[in-house]
Amino acid sequence: MQFRFKIVKKSKKSWARAGILETPHGRIETPAFVSVATQASVKSLTPEDLKNLGAEIILANTYHLYLRPGADVIKKAGGLHKFMNWPGPMVTDSGGFQVFSLGWGKVHQIGKIGWFPGYEEVRPPREVGPLKLVKITDDGVEFTSHLDGSKHIFTPEKSIKIQEDLGADIIFAFDECTSPLADYEYTKKSLKKTHNWALRCLKVKKKREQALFGIIQGGEYKDLREESTKFISSLPFDGIGIGGSLGKTQKDMFKILKWITPLLPEEKPRHLLGIGRPEDLENCVKHGMDLFDCVWPTRLARRGTLLIKNGRLNIGNSRYIKDFHAIEKKCGCYTCQNFTRAYLSHLFRAKELLYYRLATIHNLYFTLGLMQKIRKDILVGKL
Amino acid sequence: MQFRFKIVKKSKKSWARAGILETPHGRIETPAFVSVATQASVKSLTPEDLKNLGAEIILANTYHLYLRPGADVIKKAGGLHKFMNWPGPMVTDSGGFQVFSLGWGKVHQIGKIGWFPGYEEVRPPREVGPLKLVKITDDGVEFTSHLDGSKHIFTPEKSIKIQEDLGADIIFAFDECTSPLADYEYTKKSLKKTHNWALRCLKVKKKREQALFGIIQGGEYKDLREESTKFISSLPFDGIGIGGSLGKTQKDMFKILKWITPLLPEEKPRHLLGIGRPEDLENCVKHGMDLFDCVWPTRLARRGTLLIKNGRLNIGNSRYIKDFHAIEKKCGCYTCQNFTRAYLSHLFRAKELLYYRLATIHNLYFTLGLMQKIRKDILVGKL
C-alpha cells in the first residue's frame, strides 16, 4: 500500500505534531485542512483554483455522490479523481454524518444551517419531533433521499463498497453519528453499533490502495469516549477519525479531546471530523489533531462572511459599499490582490456568480494559510 | 483622443471588413464579439478568465450600474475599469435598451427571457397591456427601478453624464429602442425623438478619451431606417450602433442591414447591438458589421445549452449522465480540456456553482473563436 504517515516534529509544549501523509495521489503536510467538495466540487472552484490556493487534499461525500450521479457513474468514469479531474489526495466520508443530518440532525435542528459544537452564535439544538427520514437498525440505516424521496439502505458493507467505487485515497468506516441531545443510554447503545460496524467495515474492505480510517464515537460521555478510543485504536485501521457530538460548546470539545488524545496510537493520523473554524484549528492541533474538514469557511463565504485576522467581515454591511480597500490589506489571495470590498459588496448584493468564487477563494486561502502557519510554528518549536 | 479605427482588409465578396480599433485601454481586432458584463461582471468569470478566453472587449450596462451600486460609487472607485479590475477596452450602453425592456419589452413579452430577432424558437412577441414601468416623453424617460420600485429619469444628458462617470472607452447615445410590434406611426415619432436625443448627447459629451457612438433606429421600415442611417452618419459620432427592432426573423434582419450598410460611412466602426448567436455572426459580418454584443452565449450556457459545431448540446439531457467525452472533441477551451459531459451533467443537475463557470467558458470560447475564424477568413480573402 502506498499509504504512509510520518511524524516529522513533535511539540514539547502540547500534543501538536507536524507530519507527512503519503497517499497514492500525493503527499500532504499535516496538520492540514481538508477542503470540502460535497458533490465532487468545492463549490465554485476548479481544481486549478484549489492548487493555486495551496489545497493539498479534498473531501467528497459518499451519501451525496451515491444519490447523484451514482457510484456506478463515478466508477465508470474511472473514479472520483478522474470524474472531477482532481489529481491530488482525496477523502470520502462514510455517509454516517449525512444519515445523522437526515435523522437526528433534522429532529434536533442541527446540521446544514444549524448548530456545530462551539458555534454558540447559532440557535442551539432542540428536539422537535421523532425520526422521520431515517430508520437505524443493527444492520444499518434505511433512509429517504433528500432529492426525490426514494428509499435506500446503507450498511457498513455497502458504504465500503460505494467508497471503493468512488476510489478516494482515504475512506471512512460507517458509523452512527450521535447528536448533542443524545442521552447516555442512547449513546451507549449506538456506540455498540458503531463498534460492530467498524469490524464489519474492516472485514469487507478489499482495496489495498485505499486507507481506511475508523471513527471514534461516544458523544460527550467520558467512559464511552475512552472505551471507543481504546477499541477503535486497537483495530488495524490506517487512521483514526473523531466524530459525533463534541458537546455543546468549544470548551466541551477540548474537554472531550483531552479524554481521547492520550489514548490514541501516536503513529496513526487523526482526523477531527467536521471541525474547521479559524478559532478552533490551532487549539485542536495542540490537542493532537492532524486533519480537519469543514464546510464552514466556504459556506460562510457564500453567505457574505469573510474571514479576517481580527474576526469576520460581513460584506453585506452597507459600510462596504464605498470601501475601496481589499478585504484584508496584507492578504495574498487572488481576491484581495485584485478586488476591493466595494466590488465584492456590489457582487454580493447583485447575487453575481463571481462573488461566490471570489469569497470562497479568500476564506479558503485564509484557512489554508492558517494551517501552514500552525505547521511552521510546530516545526520551529513555537507551538 | 486615443480612439482610432483602421480597416486592414476589405472583402471583395461581401461588405465584410477586418479592422483594428484602438482605445485608451488597448486595441481590438474587428470583427469582434463584445462579452456582456451587465452588472460589471461577465457572469461567473474573472478578468483573468476573460483574458485566457481571448476576450478583448466587454460591455457593461448603464441602467443596471446606475441603480446598483450607483455611478457615484464607480466614479469614486476610479471608473469601471478599476472597479471591476478589467484593464482592457470597455463599452457601456446608454440605458435605452433597458428602458425598452422595462417598457415595451415587458408589454410585448420581449426581452430577458423572450424573443430576439431571428430567435423563432422562442414565443413571438405579443401585446399584453399598456406601458406600466416606463413613461417616454420628448425630454427623456421616467422609469421604475426593477430592484426597489423607486422612480428615476433618464435624459440624453443624464445618460452621458452617467457614462462619463463609469468611464468606458466607448459609450452610446441615448435612444428609444422600438419593439417589433411598434407600428409605422409610433416608430416615425420615436425616431424623431432618438435623433433629437442624438444631437443632445453630442452637445453635452465632454470627455475626449471616450468615443461616442450614435444609434440608428427606424424599426423594420425602409424609409425610416434609411433616414436614420443618413442622419446618424452625418453627425460627428466616433462610431455607429444599429439598434432597435430588426424585424421578426433572421431574414428580416439581413433585409434591414441591406438597407443600412450601403449608406454607412466606411471609416467608422459599426456595432450591431444585441446580436450574437453563432448562426448570425458570419452573415452579419458579411453585411458590414464590426462589433457585436449579446448575452445569448453566456445565458444559454447557464441554462444548460452548450454550443457545438453542429448546433447545440443540452447538457440536461439524460444521455450525457454517462458520457465521458468532452463537450466537443477538438475544442481547446479549459472546460473541454479538463472535464467530461458526464461531470458537467452532474454539476448542472446538482446546480453546482462550478457548472455555470465551466459552461460560460465553453460558450464564450466558442463564440470568440468563431469571430477569430471569421476575421482570418476575411484576411485571407475567403469571406
Q: What pLDDT, in 10s, does the model give residues A61-76?
A: 999 999 999 999 999 9
CA-atom Rg of chain A in angstroms: 20
B353/A contact by beta carbon, under 8 A: yes
pLDDT attached to residue B58: 98
- Tens digits of residue pLDDT in A143-174: 999 899 999 999 999 999 999 999 999 999 99
Q: How confident is the model at residue A1 (pLDDT cuts 50, 70, 90)?
A: low
- Residue whose entry in the numeric block shows the C-alpha cell 479538463: B338
- Specify the CATH architecture of the domain A4-93+155-294: Alpha-Beta Barrel (3.20)
pLDDT attached to residue B123: 58
Percent of chain B's residues with pLDDT above 90: 85
A40 and B345: CB-CB below 8 Å? no
Angle between helices B341-349 and B353-379 (to 10 degrees): 130
At A247 the three-state DSSP class reads coil
Q: Closest Cα to residue B274, out of B295, B255, B256, B257?
A: B295
Q: Are B365 and B45 within 8 A, CB to CB? A: no
User: Whole-number mean pLDDT of chain B?
Assistant: 93
Q: How confident is the model at residue A46 (pLDDT cuts 50, 70, 90)?
A: very high
Domain locations along chain B: 30-294, 303-383
Give how far Cα A251 sits from Cα of A31, A118, B189, Å: 21, 7, 75
For residue B47, the chain A residue with the least C-alpha distance is A338
For residue B69, which residues of chain A lie inside 8 Å, CB to CB? 321, 342, 345-346, 349
Q: Are B238 and B212 within 8 A, CB to CB? A: yes
For residue B339, which residues of chain A lie inside 8 Å, CB to CB? 85
A357 and B40: CB-CB below 8 Å? no
Count the Cβ atoms, other than its own, within 10 Å of residue B218: 29
pLDDT attached to residue B172: 98
- In CATH, which superfamily holds the domain spanning B30-294? Queuine tRNA-ribosyltransferase-like (3.20.20.105)
Type of residue numbered B32:
A
Among A35, A36, A38, A41, pick the best mutation site for testing chain B contact (most B Cβ within 10 A): A41
- Tens digits of residue pLDDT in B354-368: 999 999 999 999 999
> How far apart, in whole angstroms, are the C-alpha atoms of residue B338 and residue A85?
7
Return the bridge partners of B291, or none: B32, B271
Catalytic site residue from A93, A169, A175, A280:
A93
Among B354, B356, B358, B361, pick the best mutation site for testing chain A contact (most A Cβ within 10 A): B354
Handedness of CA A338, A340, A345, A350 (dihedral sign): negative
B39 and A357: CB-CB below 8 Å? no
> How far apart, in whole angstroms, are the C-alpha atoms of residue B60 and residue B84?
11
- Residue whose entry in the numeric block shows the C-alpha cell 423607486: B150
- Tens digits of residue pLDDT in A188-233: 999 999 999 999 999 999 988 999 999 999 999 999 999 999 999 9
Angle between helices B250-260 and B222-234 (to 10 degrees): 50
Among A343, A347, A358, pick the best mutation site for testing chain B contact (most B Cβ within 10 A): A343
> How far apart, in whole angstroms, are the C-alpha atoms of residue B366 and residue B341?
16
Give how far Cα A307 sits from Cα of A51, A351, A361, A365, B80, Å: 20, 19, 11, 10, 27
- How many CB pairs below 8 Å do chains A and B form together? 107
How far does Cα A234 stand from its chain's mean position? 23
For residue A147, the chain B residue with the least C-alpha distance is B350
> How far apart, in whole angstroms, are the C-alpha atoms of residue B105 and residue B121?
18
pLDDT attached to residue B343: 98
> How far apart, in whole angstroms, are the C-alpha atoms of residue A276 and residue A278?
6
Window from A102-111, A235-244, B16-25 with minimum mean pLDDT: A102-111
Q: Is it the case that residue B141 has pLDDT exceeding 50? A: yes
B353 and A357: CB-CB below 8 Å? yes
| Catalytic annotation, residues of B | 93, 293
Q: Label each residue of chain B as H, E or C.
A: CCCEEEEEEECCCCCCEEEEEEECCEEEEECEEEEECCCCCCCCCCHHHHHHHCCCCEEECHHHHHHCCCHHHHHHCCCHHHHHCCCCCEEECCCHHHHHHHHHHHHCCECCCCECCCCCCCCCCCCCCCCCCEEECCCCEEEECCCCCCEEEECHHHHHHHHHHHCCCEEECCCCCCCCCCCHHHHHHHHHHHHHHHHHHHHHCCCCCCEEEEEECCCCCHHHHHHHHHHHHHCCCCEEEECCCCCCCHHHHHHHHHHHHHHCCCCCCEEECCCCCHHHHHHHHHCCCCEEECCHHHHHHHCCEEEECCEEEECCCHHHCCCCCCCCCCCCCHHHHHCCHHHHHHHHHCCCHHHHHHHHHHHHHHHHHHHHHHHHHHHCCCC
- Residue whose entry in the numeric block shows the C-alpha cell 439581413: B254
Window from A3-17, A30-44, A235-249, B100-114 with minimum mean pLDDT: B100-114
ipTM for the predicted complex comes to: 0.96
DSSP A89-142: -EEE--SHHHHHIIIIIHHTTBSTTSB-TT-TTSPPP---S---SEEE-SS-EE
A343/B contact by beta carbon, under 8 A: yes
Q: Are A211 and A23 within 8 A, CB to CB? A: yes
Look up residue A239 and give its three cell numbers.
487512521
pLDDT attached to residue B102: 81
A349/B contact by beta carbon, under 8 A: yes
